[in-house]
Amino acid sequence: MGNTITEKILMAHTDLREIRAGELINARVDIALGNDITAPIAIKEFRKAGGRKVFDRDKIALVLDHFTPNKDISSAEQCKFVREFALEQKITHFYEGGRVGIEHALLPEQGIVVPGDVVIGADSHTCTYGGLGAFATGVGSTDLAAAMLTGELWFKVPETIKFVVYGKMPRWVSGKDLILHIIGRIGVDGALYKAMEYTGETISALPMADRLSIANMAIEAGAKNGIFPPDDITRQYVEGRGKRPYKFYASDADAVYADIIEINAAQLEPQVAFPHLPSNVKGVSAAGDIKIDQSLIGSCTNGRIEDLRIAAQILQGRKAASTVRLIVVPATPAIYQQAIREGLIEIFLNAEAVISPPSCGACLGGHMGILAAGERAVATTNRNFVGRMGHAKSEVYLASPAVAAASAVLGRIASPAHLA
């Protein structure tokens, strides 16, 4: 009986020769991540446990990306607390100010996470790094404290659902649409504490940006992690970036799966998740006449250069409707610079968009994009719970950059095809 890729990576980080789904294990951690919301709690717990020195300053990442630039005194104090700890511990991967990017875009870009890693982060969307062929999962702040102390953490080995995706995706259909379709199909608890493994001809052709976007939303189906078998596309992305040696793992032909689900991507159209669950998914053609007040293009799900290019292609020569606030958030400084070089920022400005520095602020209703009562937003983010982006009586519709851009122009939820 063989092992899945998730089982193989976890086993390689133990001294065990065999592991099976459902077993409790202790595994070594390659990267432990915290941000300006979750790290302060972890640091306090680290101190309470008697911690004086982190297990490895090269394996801790602290990224101040949620409420920065500091939106108020409270957030400034949070960041100051983390900054002082990072300087005291000489943390190698500490990011704030002009160096900061949205954490789950920044770490792959900077080569901090590589294939075959075990990564934990005190942020639920840490599962993003499964796009690189790493085991990555979100944990609580106390778990982060334990990892910072010991370099290890306990896990229950998850069962795996394999998604076999075939068929050529139609124009304007992206990885974001695929994962929204999957969550709509299986529900927000359809992969509860399971690994979501993606295979098939469609997956093999996906660029890294789409893989990271899909892995990012594994948690929205309740999954422990999402993961892609690494391949030549992975290698091309990692070479020149990776800060450490890496290893490609693959599932055995006789690996055991909890379920196998096949999807014909050729049948998909752009998808929209309606309030107030990521699983409340419909094709954009079924959206009807839903007027919006805000369109947000960015986040750890869809703020990469490929996402901005798609949005700019649609916005070229057009303006956002006068009733819509269009906000564009490049996910990292490097992406921002690339967007400037390619003329994308000029296109966004001509479309009368607000260009934000890299930040998670709008996505979680923190700052720079808060919704008032009764307002609706279409967003390329990953979560649309009640009050997610502001007032409890606001609404968030999740979609791809293509749909968000077209909707901004038309003032209602729409496909780019509606602009023809």
Confidence (pLDDT) at 240: 87
CATH architecture of the domain with residue range 5-263? 2-Layer Sandwich (3.30)
pLDDT digits over 271-288, tens only? 999 999 999 999 999 998
pLDDT in tens, 298-328: 999 999 999 999 999 999 999 999 999 999 9
Residue type, 366: G
Confidence bin at 243 (pLDDT 50/70/90): confident
Is the previous residue joined to 13 through a cis bond, with omega within 30 degrees of 0? no
Q: What is the dihedral of CA 86, 337, 330, 414, to 10 degrees?
A: -170
Phi-psi region of 364 (alpha: psi -120 to 50; beta: other; left: phi over 0): alpha
0.85 exceeded by pTM: yes
Per-residue exposure over 180-207, b if at least 16 CB sit within 10 Å of its own CB, e if not: bbbbbebebebbeebbbbbbbebbeebe
DSSP state of 226: E
Digit-coded pLDDT (tens) for 211-229 = 999 999 999 999 999 999 9
Residue whose entry in the numeric block shows the structure tokens 């990271």:
212
Share of the chain above pLDDT 70, in %: 100
Q: Each residue of 334-383: pLDDT tens digit?
A: 999 999 999 999 999 999 999 999 999 989 999 999 999 999 999 999 99
* Confidence band for 209, pLDDT divided at 50, 70 and 90: very high
- In this prediction, residue 420 carries a pLDDT of 64
Across 53-82, average pLDDT: 95
What letter would DSSP give residue 166?
A: E
Res 239 pLDDT > 90: yes
Mean pLDDT rounded to a whole number for the chain: 96
* Cis geometry, peptide bond prior to residue 69 (ω within 30 degrees of 0): yes
Domain map of the chain by residue range? Answer: 5-263, 273-419
Instruction: Tell me if domain 5-263 and domain 273-419 are identical in fold.
Output: yes
| pLDDT for 409 beyond 90 | yes
Residue 418 has a pLDDT of 81
For residue 411, the tally of other CB atoms under 10 A from its CB is 16
| pLDDT confidence of residue 73 | 95
CATH fold of 273-419:
Aconitase; domain 3 (3.30.499)
pLDDT band at 419 (very low <50, low <70, confident <90, very high): confident
Q: Residue 287: what residue type?
A: A
What pLDDT, on the 0 to 100 scale, is given for residue 199? 97
pLDDT surpasses 80 at 230: yes
CA distances from 146 to 97, 136, 225 (A): 27, 16, 20
Beta bridge partners of 377: 294, 396
